[in-house]
Amino acid sequence: MTDLTTLSIADAGRLMARGEITSSALTDAFLKRIEAVDHKIASFITVTADVARAAARQADMEMKGGVRRGPMHGIPFALKDIYETAGIRTTGHSHLKSDYVPVIDAETVRRLKDAGGVLLGKVGTHEFANGAMTPDQPFPAVLNPWNTKHQPGGSSSGSGAAVAAALCMGAMGSDTGGSIRNPAGYCGTAGIKPTYGLVSRCGIFPLAFSLDTAGPLAWTVEDCALMLDVLAGHDPNDQGSAKTAKVDYGAACHRPIKGMRIALARSWYEGKDSVTADMKKGIDEAVRVLKDLGAEVEDVVFPDIWDYHICGRVIITTEAHAIHRQDVIATPEKFGYTTRRRFQLGAFISAEQYLSTLRFRRQLTLDTRACMRGYDLVMTANHWGAPETFEEPQPIFHFLGKPSLTMPFNVTGQPAATVCCGFGSDGFPLSFQLAGHAFDEASVFAAGAAYERATSFRSKRPSL
């Protein structure tokens, strides 16, 4: 019998629609696996077993009565613990919010519930999506399911680890400088940072207002698309929310990609700083597969990766300080030391420097758009190589090392997805990014899903 916890969202949905499995059976399988396995990786902060079973029973009754709410109906999912949940604590992985219980759901949570989704619980994150997993925080660090001596990437660490370990079918993350795509890459899942403004952030703890995006991680690109079908849409309570036409992202995953033109940003990952030999080989092979599927892939030189990295870091540091300044002054002891220092750094950036950075961001966006002229997508590496091990003390200002490969698409606001392209000799996943023009998630999904169908990497899971 098929292990229910390794089904894709798409497959589980088809089986439930035909009455071959129930949401209750699916939910129980995940709850049992969480109980049996999660102590090895500590991905969950709060498990909502009773809530999940009640939602699953409701979904079963509705489907038995002929009601089908959509692709997430009866599907078990998890939430990064910065998403507010009515009656369920939302901690931000911080002492400051360890007992906080919201009275209403975040808009994204409401949409997932309205679509019939089954909430399994809340998963770990870097503190307020900006700190690090350190011993001075209230919950254990999330571990990488491929090798528990290594980090899973952040800040949506619990989301990536839980999906990879088959503890949920999909999980919500947030992405301000790569916090969906980093754990997706290190944990070997798919994940998408949608276009800025496509998905509501109302009810999600903020980090940097002008960069924050919310989006899903799942085992396949198609599953991410099915989740985004539920999540996308204007929210008048989010000042950054955009009004856009409805798109069927699930259907987009089955579009042919013959004739699609992809710009390969090779200079970002093979310059002065270079990805590992395994990563380079994996991406080169992925390029070959996409070409075999009919896409045209050509090297294109974009602005220097460091320009995007520095621009994004200044904006994040300045805006995060503005958001957390009062709490850092009033109760500094409630923050992890690393988190506190990162927030405090923003106090040393002047208004002139911040405004100059915003102008530079505009120029980078225009230059990127010019480089993409005539191309549908950008392709580049997702991360440099294997994730870091857990060592204390962890570097406070980690961003002073290599530039972030994910930051360019936060700066420009474009949609960008992580796609697994194999495994290195060290056993860790290899991944590339596909980024599209603003609000063209459909092309991103089409290429990513076509690549997954043409390869076998979705058949391999970590052993726990």
Torsion of the alpha carbons at 204, 209, 215 and 217, rounded to the nearest 10: -90
**Residue 84 exposed, middle or buried by CB count within 10 Å (0-12, 13-18, 19+):** buried
Distance CA 8, CA 412 (A): 31
Taken as a whole, the chain contains a residue count of 464
Q: Is 150 helix (H, G, I), strand (E, B) or coil?
A: strand
Catalytic-role residue among 23, 24, 43, 80? 80
Is 210 part of the annotated catalytic residue set?
Answer: no
Q: What are phi and psi of 196, to 5 degrees?
A: -55, 125
Q: What are phi and psi of 73, to 5 degrees?
A: -65, 115
Catalytic-role residue among 159, 179, 241, 404? 179
Instruction: Write out the E strands in 65-109.
Output: 76-80
Neighbours of 426 (CB within 10 A): 12
Is 200 part of the annotated catalytic residue set?
Answer: no
Q: What are phi and psi of 136, to 5 degrees?
A: -90, 20
Amino acid occupying residue 16: M
Q: At which residue do the structure tokens 């990805």 appear?
A: 275
Is 267 part of the annotated catalytic residue set?
Answer: no
Distance CA 462, CA 165 (A): 6
Helix ranges, 188-333 (H): 221-231, 249-252, 266-269, 277-292, 305-330
Catalytic-role residue among 155, 241, 404, 431? 155
Active-site residue list: 80, 155, 179
